[in-house]
Each structure stands twice: as structure tokens, then as C-alpha cells.
Amino acid sequence: MKKTLVVYGSSTGTCQSIAETIAEKLGAEVIDVANLDDAQVNEAENLILGTSTWGAGEVQDDWYDGLNKLKKLDLNGKTVALFGCGDCESYGDTFCGGMDEIYSALQDKGVKFVGQVSTDDYTFDDSAAVVDGKFVGLALDDINEDDKTPDRIDAWLDDIKGEL
């Protein structure tokens, strides 16, 4: 596997824990987006980017500076996979919408997105992170569906490993 960097933004620790699990399973480096520097991004060929969702489907606060940093860098040719944390019961109308903000910010940066996930096994009302019937990345609800999280992570990693 090529050099992979797992970057997360987490306010409560849930997204951090998931990022650490993903990084451990891949043997990748993991870093809080608040501590991200240009050299780390430039050295990585693969970026796995994760955010919790806040407010009306927004990224975790540290991601605003992180996205500004990423948009200034040359990401052409990098492979990007996204994951997001949300609450499908309390925020079913914006479920994992934070992933969409990252996806939209990087769409014109020459990256190859991998890891889209079918919405079939999810219960939610709406999500900006759904494009053509699939989430733009791995959607996780570790509040209401924590029993599904390990299997969802494993299935997603199996799906993207060949691309990394």
C-alpha cells in the first residue's frame, strides 16, 4: 500500500477513535486536522479524511482551516476516501452531511475519490453526502448504530484497499 494518511476532525472523540481504528487496520499514520501540515499531505499518496457532522450538516470546526490548507496544495493524482460520523435519529435530515463539505471542496483538485457506500443499510431522512444514491464515503452512526460500526468499517476497508 502506498503512503496513506488518515486525517480526522473530532470534538467529542468519536471520529478520532474511528480514525485511529482505520489507521491501525491499514498501518497508516493518523493525525488531527488541527495539526496537519503541508509536508504530511505532500508526502502521502492517499488521504482518508473523516469528520463528524455538526449543525445543519457542517464539518467539525477544525476542518474549516484544514480545508483551506488542502485547497491551497497540489492534490492532483492523490486518492481520497471519506468517512463521516453522524446521528441518524436526532439529525436524520443532515446525516453525515459534513462529508459533503470535504467532497465538494476537493472535487476540482484532481483527486480520485474512492469508497462510496450504498445507502441501502441506513435509516435517515436526507443527506447532502448522498450522490447518485450512494454516500460519498463511509457513513457511521456510532450513537444509534454502534453495533454496525465495526462491520461497516471492515467492509469499507476491504472495498478500498485495492485502490490505496
pLDDT tens-digit profile of 24-37? 999 999 999 999 99
Residue 56: predicted pLDDT: 85
Residues 85, 53: Cα–Cα separation, whole Å: 6
DSSP-based three-state secondary structure for 92: coil
Closest C-alpha among 40, 57, 53, 55 to residue 83: 53
19-28, 69-78, 85-94: least confidently modelled range: 85-94
pLDDT tens-digit profile of 121-132? 999 999 999 999
Residue 112: predicted pLDDT: 97
What values do phi and psi take at 9, rounded to 5? -125, 125
Residue 163: predicted pLDDT: 95
pLDDT average, residue stretch 9-33: 96
Per-residue pLDDT band for 50 (boundaries 50, 70, 90) equals very high
Model pTM score: 0.96
